[in-house]
A and B are shown apart, each in its own frame.
Chain A
């Protein structure tokens, strides 16, 4: 029996509907937020006002667009950090820890080279971040391949470990004197500063290169073929003479490198590493990767979408008096609907996909599975 393969349009349906549903759910919250706002009354048009100012804030001006791209840059990278892993059947929840490792290392390199020429200092710090992220990804990859320890468990533990260890180091060993709070010395010439009066910076270039690079890697190279084969069917990959263990380690290292780069960019933009570096881009990467269907092009688009919301949120807060936290709500609800694909299909009476395992299955599959080869 021949069944219909999943078309490209079909792949877009669930993400698009998830966004739509999330906006609807958020509308209810925005309406309700009117009650605790300054006016203390229900305004049914408030969601429209909010969404309009959200759009105006991100697309309304050249500066807004620049902000959107700057906000989207790390999200695309952490999106790749999760998405490329999904292609190999790995659920990298550790982007957060990898971001911190990357950012911290970039800061250390930056501080060291603070007086070097920016042409050397900036790429050196970025590369430091990439390398540190790769190491942070290598560890769970190695543990998974040779002991079967599930990457979800190990990366969550590593997240806590990196955060506490780095924060301890910044509070103590690397603390710069003369500041009211614990932070490292400035990265000086390694800092990523705005270009042409906008917030656009050199790091954007690196991120923009990563998207086509990972697309090329996954779909045009033999290594990418192996990554995808291991992800889709590890036993068949072993049968075909591939090395699933090596591919897992390689892929996790690569994912870590993407996240490390994201961390480096964020820290070099900030100019120093603060002891309390609360960033959500690691976990946001999960939403970006799933919304983008683990496809680099999709990740770019969903990264831009979430970036636009982040960039437009301040204007929304000013114009509509809707708290920026609503963006987190929208993002969270999108994730819920993506994860509950079945629910979305029920609501819109869509037929289930006929063939091909979705990336979401990766999350629940392979638990406790011993890897050979």
Chain B
């Protein structure tokens, strides 16, 4: 750029900053400031039930969390729910996207129906599936091949099945729409050329669709993975963490709001923040997600 910044450029800059200021201030005030505050809280012994005690505690809160069995159990639960639900969502979302793309008729009907889970409050979806899985009230046990008296919420992995079902139902539409957006950018001529060369539908999917959709798939995966790691609503409604189904977010909530232990709870919060950061970093560096192509959704 030339040495002097013209008057016009300068006023454009000023206008740009002024217009962005309210949004930037709101975002910094409610995220950057609290996370800094959370770090400070996490270094203190601060239990609101015993406000007189306490003071600087160094890393002892982190030590307490990281050496507790509960944190690692919850970390495993969260990761398990995240991996399984995102994998199912990707497969189902891809099928729905392909069906929407190749629609012979009724494309509008599908679009309408997949938007319904998106629009529904997560808590409502969780209640609906919770009652569906209930042995007395629900309909799942009326299905063939399922025992009439199966107590889904009586045991860890069947509880996970119910939780994952609700999560998958609620968020697959978003995945499908993102994948469809990637699908429509593929040049139709490539498929025609491959067909002429004798490629089967299966080959066309793996050799053309998947490689060309890779950026869209990775962005959708990144956002859904981070979202799934934060799983809270569904578990809170279905089990409140009973039968060893607690997620790290539930643990944080229980410490902060349930026990008013701001020091320990903040250490959990900061650790969750670090996990999310690591996941995002792995996606961006490891898989080469081009982040500028991403966008927030849920």
Is B a genuine binding partner of A?
no
Residues of A bordering B, CB below 8 Å: none
